[in-house]
């Protein structure tokens, strides 16, 4: 076996093989995949092989689309059978919410290009004459998917990868990984050591243990999933052709033809025991392992399947497959850099890896080879989790995800599992005021304040929260609003070389004066967004960096890795010590003035400056910035002071009509100001040129990604971020909807909502060149309905920022 390689992939399941395939396609042929048993002998071999293209997440839908495309052509490419059955699939809607969901996915399909039709129960029965459709409102019929034989398809991918230079070493367990002083890794295996530049953990149910060798926490739950295969079904024997893969919320099941038998897989929504938990994980010599059948757990669901497909009832059960499956807390895979260890990557954590493996491999390979993927990877990036995502948290969330596999989660639903992972002393105060929380990187954050309980209408349309949020927005626009937003990632960067470091990392220049604040973006070598900082110069050689909660690991790694040898810089992550109170609205100065001796006038405390002041007797870092477009301050105080500061402001604010507000209101308010969001509008696919963020890029200094930005500037962007208003009825832009000019799809929305102060349904979209001018008339597909839309100037509310500067 070779002793050096550019990349070592640990694990020969569909995730590892899918990555190997794409890495060699990208030209990184010096890649070795090491598998302890035979290829696919982990979870992959026993999978049922279904590959749905019906996915509401725009980026994951692209992952699935690539897998389906590759499976369909793999046999012709390699000459090896893959068992690809292009049966298509039908998913049932049993209520209006699910039907609306279909319409949303139809929009994703129109964008990505997979075929999908919403069909009637009669049409469902025409396509599958054996199914009963009682209670079914409609079906989502996807025509470009099907199922594959996982082992054959993986072996075909492996053959294709080997032909182009990739290497696979089977029957060779990786025993450990060590980081060498120069930055390379030593991967110790049963057959010797390999020194390499990159390591990818694609170890499936063993991934947590492989990560632990490098001190990395990788949290998911190892669970069990079962499907049954019936005996031969007479009606299948009597006909050619196959029924589509059926996906049915009524029985929380999928069912299809397996040759002339039936195959039925169940996501039982009852307590599932975790595979191997009692032994601390699978044994290293576990191979092609199945667990004993647990039919009793499936019975209530199987009975329902028999209602649906009475022809299965006579066939009897021939085989039960009970196999290991891993699930993450949000059911998305873990694909991307591991936190804290440069060039250590994850390609794991998928509960539907057959559908996702090749696609994940494609985009991870792009990321590794080119520095960025061409799709937004934020939802798959392993760094979306932090230490809070320990085994208990991951397990609680993952189980809920598993049970809810076929239950549509309404957009406003908050599920309690694993919560609260992180809370602040103020939370009980806010709970008493009717605060409905949502989770961000483990933190509980106010979403809206309800006088009638936490439940929101189960709909994609505007809910009972809508009028309440309107009042929260009115308070901020007309009086004063207050909101605690904990979890900002906070780094203090100090030392003689701090400024040089930050100027190198950021496309903007550091503020010159102490107390100055800038918005700054760190870009990749390709000039695309990595992160967004609000940077305050606290002293000559000390800067405070604030960024989004989920940027915690990303920013920490980014900053530490940017330090050059010999530079004198200290970087402290002080995230957990502080919380933030956002106070905004035209009466803010009047309210705060009574609580501090600091002069809050614009002359002494202008917009985009910060001061360390005493407020309500507590030390507070007051930043005159906000994300809602009003006179206001972000007040950063110590966790222990949060209640005192909040209560003092509340008391002083009562005569002025102070109100609590939450993230729903903030979304409405920021849309009226066209404030783009990191990970949504500003992503790893996009440079500041496309995002119209050049005002935050200073090309007169050297920074990472500058050459790439200049290149895009010279050649001209082909897609452009625009603000749109849409003629919505009761459903606003949610993101991922197609934008049409006539019959042509010319763009995609990223986020949206209702602007309560302006009375406009607003959103962001990336549109092709030629469709970005103000006044361009477009159409946006909202819940299956094409609604008139128009490109409008950015910042429809207070475009000159007069209120911010007041």
Ligand X SMILES: Cc1cc2nc3c(=O)[nH]c(=O)nc-3n(C[C@H](O)[C@H](O)[C@H](O)COP(=O)(O)OP(=O)(O)OC[C@H]3O[C@@H](n4cnc5c(N)ncnc54)[C@H](O)[C@@H]3O)c2cc1C
Helix (H) or strand (E) holding 362: helix 353-370
**CA distance linking residue 352 with residue 55, whole number of Å:** 12
Q: Which is nearer to ligand X, 325 or 649 (CB)?
A: 325
**In angstroms, rounded to a whole number, what is the distance separating the alpha carbons of residues 145 and 52?**
6
- Closest to ligand X by CB, 199 vs 625, is 199
* The residue to which tokens 């990472």 are assigned: 704
Position among 320, 321, 341, 639 found at the interface with ligand X (CB under 6 A): 321
In whole angstroms, the minimum distance from the beta carbon of 415 to ligand X comes to: 22
Decide whether 42 or 166 has the Cβ nearer to ligand X.
Answer: 42
Beta strand 31-34 with 167-169 is: parallel
Q: Is there binding between residue 41 and ligand X (CB under 6 A)?
A: yes
CB of 678 to ligand X, least distance (A): 29
Candidates 8-16, 470-478, 654-662, 764-772: pick the segment binding ligand X (CB under 6 A): 8-16
Coil, helix or strand at residue 64 = helix
Q: Which range touches ligand X (CB under 6 A), out of 4-12, 594-602, 643-651, 783-791?
A: 4-12
Task: Give the whole-angstrom CA distance, residue 630 versus residue 670.
Answer: 10
Is residue 482 within 8 Å of 583, Cβ to Cβ? yes
Binding test (CB under 6 A) with ligand X, winner from 32, 42, 177, 305: 42
Q: How far is the CB of 63 from ligand X (least distance, A)?
A: 11
Where does residue 107 rank: exposed (0-12), middle (13-18), buried (19+ CB within 10 A)?
Answer: buried
Q: Which of 34, 65, 131, 562 binds ligand X (CB under 6 A)?
A: 34
Is 529 a residue that touches ligand X (CB under 6 A)?
no
- Segment interacting with ligand X, rule: CB under 6 A, options 318-326, 462-470, 524-532, 566-574: 318-326
Q: Report the SS3 class of residue 771.
A: coil
CB 349 to ligand X: min, Å: 7
Q: Do residues 520 and 696 touch, judged by C-beta distance below 8 A?
A: yes
Length of the chain: 806
Q: Residue 792's beta-bridge partner residues? A: 723
Under rule CB under 6 A, residue 174 binds ligand X: yes
Backbone angles phi, psi at 99, to 5 degrees: -65, -40
In the complex with ligand X, the residue whose CB is nearer, 134 or 285, is 285
Q: Closest distance between ligand X and the C-beta of residue 256, in Å?
A: 9
Closer Cβ to ligand X, 13 or 736, answer by number: 13
Binding to ligand X by residue 348, rule CB under 6 A? yes
Task: Output the six-digit token pair for 293.
Answer: 């059948």
Tokens of 403: 């049970």
Q: Is 10 in the site for ligand X (CB under 6 A)?
A: yes
Complete edge-to-edge strand list for the sheet that includes strand 221-232: 116-119, 138-142, 89-93, 245-248, 253-258, 261-266, 221-232, 317-327
Is the Cβ–Cβ distance between 399 and 415 less than 8 Å?
no
Q: CA quadruple 352, 344, 155, 225: dihedral positive or negative?
A: negative
Taking every pair of C-alpha atoms in the chain, what is the biggest distance, in angstroms?
A: 88
Q: How many CB atoms lie within 10 A of CB 155?
A: 19
> Which range of residues in 38-46, 92-100, 447-455, 751-759 is near ligand X by CB under 6 A?
38-46
Q: Rank residues 91 and 787 by Cβ distance to ligand X and give the closer one.
A: 91
Phi, then psi, of 544 in degrees rounded to 5: -105, 125
Residues facing residue 785 across a β-bridge: 782
**Contact criterion met (CB below 8 Å) for 10 and 201:** yes
Structure tokens of 326? Answer: 């891993």
Tell the smallest beta-carbon distance from residue 72 to ligand X (Å): 15
Indicate whether 14 belongs to the interface with ligand X (CB under 6 A). yes
Q: E strand or H helix at 787, and its extent?
A: strand 785-792
From candidates 204, 329, 358, 705, binder to ligand X by CB under 6 A = 204
Q: Figure out which of the listed residues 48, 360, 535, 595 binds ligand X, where binding follows CB under 6 A.
A: 48
50 is a site residue for ligand X (CB under 6 A): yes
| 350 interacts with ligand X by CB under 6 A | yes
146 counts as binding ligand X under rule CB under 6 A: no
Binding mask 238-277 for ligand X (x = CB under 6 A): ---------------------------x------------
* Residue choice 22, 31, 43, 128 for contact with ligand X (CB under 6 A): 43
DSSP characters for 143-207? SS-EE--HHHHHHHHHHHHHHTT-EEE-S--EEEEEE-TTS-EEEEETTEEEEEEEEEE--GGGH
The answer to whether residue 325 forms part of the interface with ligand X (CB under 6 A) is yes
Cβ 326 to ligand X shortest distance, Å? 7
Residue 679 binding ligand X, by CB under 6 A? no
Q: Which stretch binds ligand X (CB under 6 A): 120-128, 344-352, 539-547, 574-582?
A: 344-352
Shortest approach of ligand X to residue 67 CB, angstroms?
8
Is 65 or 584 the residue whose CB approaches ligand X more closely? 65
Q: How many residues bind ligand X (CB under 6 A)?
A: 43
Q: What is the C-alpha to C-alpha distance for residues 42 and 223, in angstroms, rounded to an integer?
A: 13
Q: In this chain, which of 16, 386, 688, 736 binds ligand X, going by CB under 6 A? A: 16
Q: Does 37 bind ligand X (CB under 6 A)?
A: yes
Residue 32: which of 146, 284, 202, 152 has the closest Cα? 202
- Whole-number minimum distance, CB 634 to ligand X, in Å? 42
Q: Kindly state whether residue 98 participates in binding ligand X, applying the rule CB under 6 A.
A: no
Instruction: Write out the binding residues for ligand X, residues 205-244 only, by CB under 6 A.
Output: 205-206, 210, 225-227
Cβ proximity to ligand X, 44 vs 78, nearer residue: 44
What distance lies between CA 332 and its chain's CA centroid? 7
Determine how many CB atoms are found less than 10 A away from the CB of residue 237. Answer: 10
Segment interacting with ligand X (CB under 6 A) among 204-212, 391-399, 589-597, 733-741: 204-212
Interface with ligand X (CB under 6 A), residue from 352, 473, 475, 616: 352
Binding positions for ligand X, rule: CB under 6 A: 10-16, 34-37, 41-44, 46-50, 173-174, 202-206, 210, 225-227, 265, 321, 323-325, 348, 350-355
């Amino acid at each position: 076996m070779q002793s050096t390689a550019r990349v070592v992939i640990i694990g020969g399941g569909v995730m590892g093989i899918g990555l190997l395939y794409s890495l060699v396609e990208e030209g990184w042929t010096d890649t070795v995949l090491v598998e302890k048993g035979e290829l696919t002998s982990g979870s992959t071999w026993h999978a049922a092989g279904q590959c749905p293209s019906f996915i509401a997440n725009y980026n994951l839908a692209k992952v699935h689309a690539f897998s389906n495309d590759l499976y369909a052509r793999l046999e012709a490419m390699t000459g090896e059978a893959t068992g690809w059955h292009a049966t298509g699939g039908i998913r049932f809607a049993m209520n209006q919410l699910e039907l609306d969901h279909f319409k949303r996915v139809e929009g994703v399909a129109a964008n990505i290009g997979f075929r999908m039709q919403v069909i009637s129960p009669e049409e469902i029965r025409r396509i599958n004459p054996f199914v009963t459709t009682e209670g079914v409102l409609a079906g989502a019929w996807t025509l470009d998917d099907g199922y594959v034989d996982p082992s054959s398809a993986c072996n075909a991918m492996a053959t294709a990868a080997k032909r182009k230079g990739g290497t696979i070493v089977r029957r060779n367990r990786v025993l450990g990984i060590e980081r060498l002083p120069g930055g390379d890794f030593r991967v110790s295996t049963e057959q010797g050591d390999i020194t390499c530049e990159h390591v990818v953990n694609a170890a499936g149910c063993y991934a947590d243990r492989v990560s632990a060798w490098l001190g990395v926490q990788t949290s998911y739950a190892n669970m069990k999933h079962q499907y049954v295969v019936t005996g031969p079904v007479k009606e299948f024997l009597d006909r050619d052709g196959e029924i589509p893969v059926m996906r049915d919320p009524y029985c929380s099941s999928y069912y299809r033809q397996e040759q002339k038998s039936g195959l039925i897989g169940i996501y039982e929504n009852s307590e599932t025991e975790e595979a191997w938990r009692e032994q601390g994980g699978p044994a290293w010599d576990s191979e092609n392992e199945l667990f004993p059948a647990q039919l009793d757990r499936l019975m209530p669901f199987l009975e329902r399947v028999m209602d649906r497909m009475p022809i299965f009832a006579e066939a009897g059960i021939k085989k039960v497959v009970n196999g290991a499956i891993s699930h993450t807390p949000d059911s998305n895979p873990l694909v991307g850099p591991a936190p804290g260890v440069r060039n250590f990557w994850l390609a794991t954590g998928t509960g539907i890896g057959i559908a996702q493996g090749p696609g994940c491999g494609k985009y991870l390979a792009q990321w590794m080879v080119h520095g960025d993927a061409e799709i937004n990877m934020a939802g798959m990036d392993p760094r979306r989790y932090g230490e809070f995502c320990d085994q208990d948290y991951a397990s609680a969330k993952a189980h809920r995800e598993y049970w809810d596999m076929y239950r549509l989660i309404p957009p406003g639903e908050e599920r309690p599992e694993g919560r609260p992972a992180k809370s602040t002393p103020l939370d009980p105060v806010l709970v008493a005021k009717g605060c409905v929380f949502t989770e961000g990187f483990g933190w509980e954050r106010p979403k809206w304040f309800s006088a009638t309980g936490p439940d929101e209408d189960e709909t994609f349309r505007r809910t009972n929260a809508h009028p309440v949020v309107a009042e929260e927005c009115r308070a901020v626009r007309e009086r004063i609003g207050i909101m605690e937003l904990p979890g900002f990632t906070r780094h203090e960067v100090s030392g003689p070389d701090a400024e040089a470091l930050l100027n190198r990392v950021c496309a903007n220049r550091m503020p010159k004066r102490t107390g100055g604040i800038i918005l700054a973006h760190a870009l990749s070598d390709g000039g695309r967004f990595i992160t967004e900082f609000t940077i305050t110069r606290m002293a000559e050689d000390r800067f405070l960096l604030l960024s989004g909660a989920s940027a915690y690991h990303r920013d920490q790694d980014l900053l530490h890795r940017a330090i050059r040898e010999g530079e004198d810089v200290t970087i402290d992550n002080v995230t957990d010590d502080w919380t933030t109170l956002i106070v905004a609205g035209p009466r803010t100065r009047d309210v705060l003035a009574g609580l501090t001796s600091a002069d809050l006038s614009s002359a002494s405390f202008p917009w985009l400056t910060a001061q360390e002041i005493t407020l309500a007797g507590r030390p507070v870092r007051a930043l005159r910035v906000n994300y809602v477009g009003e006179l206001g301050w972000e007040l950063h105080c110590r966790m222990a002071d949060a209640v005192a500061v909040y209560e003092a402001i509340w008391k002083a604010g009562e005569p002025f009509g102070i109100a609590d507000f939450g993230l729903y209101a903030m979304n409405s308010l920021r849309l009226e100001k066209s404030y783009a969001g990191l990970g949504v509008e500003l992503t790893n696919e996009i440079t500041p040129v496309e995002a119209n963020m050049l005002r935050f890029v200073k090309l007169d200094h050297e920074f990472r990604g500058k050459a790439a930005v200049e290149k895009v500037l010279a050649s001209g962007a082909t897609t452009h971020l625009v603000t749109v208003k849409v003629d919505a009825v009761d459903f606003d832009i949610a993101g991922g909807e197609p934008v049409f000019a006539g019959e042509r799809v010319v763009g995609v929305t990223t986020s949206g909502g209702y602007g309560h102060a302006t009375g406009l349904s607003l959103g962001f979209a990336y549109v092709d060149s030629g469709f970005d001018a103000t006044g361009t008339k477009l159409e946006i597909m909202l819940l299956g309905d094409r609604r008139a839309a128009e490109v409008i100037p950015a910042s429809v509310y207070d475009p000159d920022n007069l209120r911010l500067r007041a």
